[in-house]
Structure 1
Amino acid sequence: MDLQERIARRRSARQGQRVVVDRDQLSPAVHRPEPVGRGPVLEQLLDALEPVFEGELPPPVAVVGPSGSGTSAVVTALFDALNDQFGGSNRAIVTTTRGGHTDPATWFVTVDGRQVESAFAFYRAVLSGVSSERVPESGVGTDDLRERIRERLARPDRRAIVAIDHHDEPETLGVERVRELLAPVADSTATVAVGHREPESHEGPAITVPPYRDHELVDVVTDRASTGLAAGALDHDAIRDLAVWAAGSAHDALAALFGAAVLASEDDAERIEPRHLETARAAVPDDGVHVARPLALSETRQQVLLELIEIESADRPIREIATAIADRSSLTDGTVKRFLYELADRGVIDRVPLPTAENGSGRRPSTVEPRFPTIAFRSLTPTRGQSL
């Protein structure tokens, strides 16, 4: 974003007296084209991918780091930059030798494991990355998509580096499964595993992304606030306090910033007040999950989570919560209860034991609590306002 655009955004915001100038710039679910404070990590990843500049495939690479450290942002930004810099409309690295011949073309493809749970979805995501043609969503089979990828990479001067993001989360395709799916084009592809830990039996470079230090996180939040909020909407002391509170997690800091901006907008306030930040921080669970996790669920499950946020669920057993949600929807108690147990198994919500009488007998009841930033989820979910 250039300086003139920044000025235009601020001027427009002040004319309308809006706190939020650009919501996407504040969203914890949106990556910046150039991650702040991650230059050394980007250099390490470029070192690991160095063989592609010689027309060769790199070894398997792993990018690992704790939640909120920016692993996804780093890989996505670098892959997008490589494609944009060298590929143009064909999304590929293409260099020319002194004799005028074309060197190998390499596509950089990022597959979001949260959005891909089947072979068909995986092949469709890869094909979208290596071809500029529209990839059908239906009417074709898995074998057809695999064959299209094989044909696309059949020439010896074509290769693809495939990053599988969030490979180690529940319900996602693991790296070993990804390599099985890429077996027909194994000689033309290499993988980059992105997650909290290395894949089992990983052999190759492993790049560790550390948690943000406080001053780095201040820069991250300042960068987002300067483009997403109106001038003067948040002071520097508040940003510093937010960075310290987030304890190295950019996701938590941005989820709280986004939530505070939502609350300030709902209050028609001209700036983000301490009360907005306090409420927004309380809505970001300790050791929670990224807001993108619930946003990747089906519409029905998102609606169940929205209802869970709205009802008074504290200290109520799961069966009562299921009944309360069912009463607000067209779903049955049994269906809602099944969804809640399923979401707890996925780690999106937590099952928490409830206290029982001292001489109580039988199974101990439990309740459920969200493990995701509730204000950010409520505002970002596309199913908000729909009925079940």
Structure 2
Amino acid sequence: MIDSSPRACATIDLRALKKNLSQVSVHCPESQIVPVIKANAYGHGVEQVALALKAMHKKFAALAVASTEEAMQLRTLGINTPILLLSGFRNRAEMDLCLNHKIEPVIHSMYQFEAIEKYLQTEILSGVGRVWVKFNSGMNRLGLDKEQALQVYGDLHRHPETEVVLMSHLASADDLDSQSAIEFTKRQIAEFDSLKQQIANSTQGPVQASLAASAGILEHPQTHHQFVRPGFMLYGGSPFVNRTAEEAGLLPVMTLRAQIIAINNVETGGTIGYGATHRCEQYTRVGIVSIGYADGYPRSAKNGTPVLVNSKHGPRRAGLLGRVSMDTIAIDLTGIDTVKLGDEVVLWGDGLPADEVAHYADTISYELFCKVTKRVEFVYTDE
């Protein structure tokens, strides 16, 4: 019989999260840290991650999220740390939420700037706390052009109780091999530094700045400035195209596990799964594992995508066979004779990098983490 453990379980190692965070201080000892916990902490569970960060008694400059809904979720948890709203406010109601709940908006468009300016002119206030002025240094996603950023920073800086931070985001800092990517990153850094100097000249004072996310923190020290924004590296994923998390000194935080619920013997010529896409070229021992695309395992995973089978004699690698189904996958157990019903299978995490699985599925490990669904039981450890 199979034991009563969950059919699919994601174990979140909060101790690993904290160790990954400590790497930020190693690389950026002079910078203030803004942990990024958007998108449900990259799929890891924002409530538990935020409370774990709070329990560290480490003073963060802010916690970064993408939406006002995410920001207010933190406030209902009793998190009083300033919150950086990466996507900025969309309307007056969201702006009011920011001003009333110590949420620091990113100003990436002129309509946001005009709304803040109007507020400052009509309210009996000399400032709105801290705001972040986003410069489009080349990614062409969110951000002001150079002239707009110069104007917005200068106008907001004139309000004595408004703290202004210049920020931008690097598009290709994760690629350390492509010469074109390296050159593009250099151009973005140069554009940012040039604007920062222009602002310093016009305001006659120092400019607070933030450019580095995970890749910048680990490999581009010239981008560290006053604030750094670690995101993916906190969760143990490699922010680099061709470098593993282990090589970057990071520990996996999420380990996704399921169970073997059936073992079938398939003769030569037999096929596996929907569409009969895999035909066995030899006698094959097939394990059926209790996880599928409804749990967040990628349907795009190819034949041979690795899993780790924890059998009687320790972990052994096996490969995916055929298509991923809604509730199950099939794996090749040929030659792993000690496997039995109920044995644990690691889909990614401890012993099997998510980046490797993502490669087989033509995606990135960011997406793997974010797509784990509510059907999967989450268990948090901190020891």
- TM-score, normalised to structure 2's length? 0.32
Q: Give 1 or 2: higher helix fraction.
A: 1
Larger relative strand fraction: 2
* TM-score, reference length from structure 1: 0.32
